[in-house]
Amino acid sequence: MLSIVLPFAGYGMISGMNENMRSVLKFQKKKSDIIADNAKPVLISSQFKFTEGPVADKQGNFFFTDIIEDKIWKYSIEGELSLFMDKTGHSDGMYFDKKGNLITAADEKNELWSISPDKKITVILDNYEGKRFNGPNDLWIDKKGGIYFTDPYYQRPYWERKQSELDGQHVYYLPNGSKKAIIVDNKLVMPNGIIGSADGKNLFVADIGDKKTYKYTINKDGSLSERKLFTGMGSDGMTLDNKSNLYLTGRGVTVFNPRGEQIEHIELPGWTANVTFGGKNKDILFITSNKSVYTLKMKVKGI
């Protein structure tokens, strides 16, 4: 049996054909009306070591990380690929705030960074009650400017430590302007992908360690309630479209409607770590998959 080991899987570490892979491969192909007619994934480049963290700016330009190489790349709406930044703290998940700053999960030192348009770095969070985070992974910013982020523990080759300083792997919320993160769910095995709904009322979190994805109600104070199982599939990264369909990653991209029913599966080689929408009209799906990045023309749009 083929053995696959991806120590940077967005990092979902995979060794061999685990049960999560098996469950994804069991999904049947579905035909839906979300992909543009006759469209297929278009390979942009395979020059990277491990791609992650795709996000689009207001103009629709894509930014993504090459975690192992410690770089952030830009793929413009004109189709130009260029290096945006070197020495990124081994950034993983990313998201733009309202001011155009690129907020990144910089897990070299287990921090959250803000990278300004002129590439000035500000460390906005580096500990929880005096202890280092496991390694902030994926994040989403709400309308108030608060940051939700997942903190799984994946051992990095650039760390000297060999174990967590915390009591588990949790989901956190950092209120806008605060220097202290709040645990909003401490009952997950290994949280990873995270995304909020367009209206800001719901949060989706993938527990990749337990092969589940949950939907929460976001309360006015930023806390979470009414956790409900959305689907029995975990995910690395994730995104939503303007029809409230949820896109989960791992083996390709698997799409679920708002009722948690699978409506589409996009096949890609290797481990698909993350996905987002962008382009001039927000109708281009940008996919990071192992050493490669792809685009796919869609009928739906990002939020």
CA quadruple 206, 211, 215, 218: dihedral sign: negative
Structure-block tokens of residue 88: 């990124």
The pLDDT value given to residue 220: 96
If 0-12 CB within 10 Å is exposed, 13-18 middle and 19+ buried, where does residue 210 land?
Answer: middle
Structure-block tokens of residue 150: 């997942």
Euclidean distance between CA atoms 61 and 251, whole angstroms = 25
Element (H, E) at 263: strand 262-266
If 0-12 CB within 10 Å is exposed, 13-18 middle and 19+ buried, where does residue 69 land?
Answer: middle
Domain parsing of the chain, residue ranges:
19-297
Whether 43 and 25 have beta carbons less than 8 Å apart is answered as no
Task: Give 80-99 as a 3 state SS string.
Answer: CEEEEEECCCCEEEEEECCC
Whether 284 and 266 have beta carbons less than 8 Å apart is answered as no
The pLDDT value given to residue 12: 42
Topology of domain 19-297, CATH: Neuraminidase (2.120.10)
What is the DSSP secondary-structure string of 280-301? TTS-EEEEEETTEEEEEEBSS-
Other CB atoms within 10 Å distance of the CB of residue 93: 30
CA quadruple 215, 220, 222, 224: dihedral sign: negative
pLDDT in tens, the chain (303 residues): 222 333 344 444 433 334 444 433 443 444 689 999 999 999 999 999 999 999 999 999 999 999 999 999 999 999 999 999 999 999 999 999 999 999 999 999 999 999 999 999 999 999 999 999 999 999 999 999 999 999 999 999 889 899 999 999 999 999 999 999 999 999 999 999 999 999 999 999 999 999 999 999 999 999 999 999 999 999 999 999 999 999 999 999 999 999 999 999 999 998 999 999 999 999 999 999 999 999 999 999 999
The pLDDT value given to residue 27: 39
What is the DSSP secondary-structure string of 88-143? -SSEEEEEE-TTS-EEEEETTTTEEEEE-TT--EEEEE--BTTB--S----EEE-T
The pLDDT value given to residue 1: 28
The pLDDT value given to residue 31: 66
Whether 241 and 301 have beta carbons less than 8 Å apart is answered as yes
The pLDDT value given to residue 73: 98
The pLDDT value given to residue 32: 80
What's the pTM value of the predicted model, to 2 decimals? 0.90
55 phi/psi in degrees, rounded to 5: -155, 150
CA distances from 226 to 95, 142, 192, 257 (A): 25, 18, 19, 19
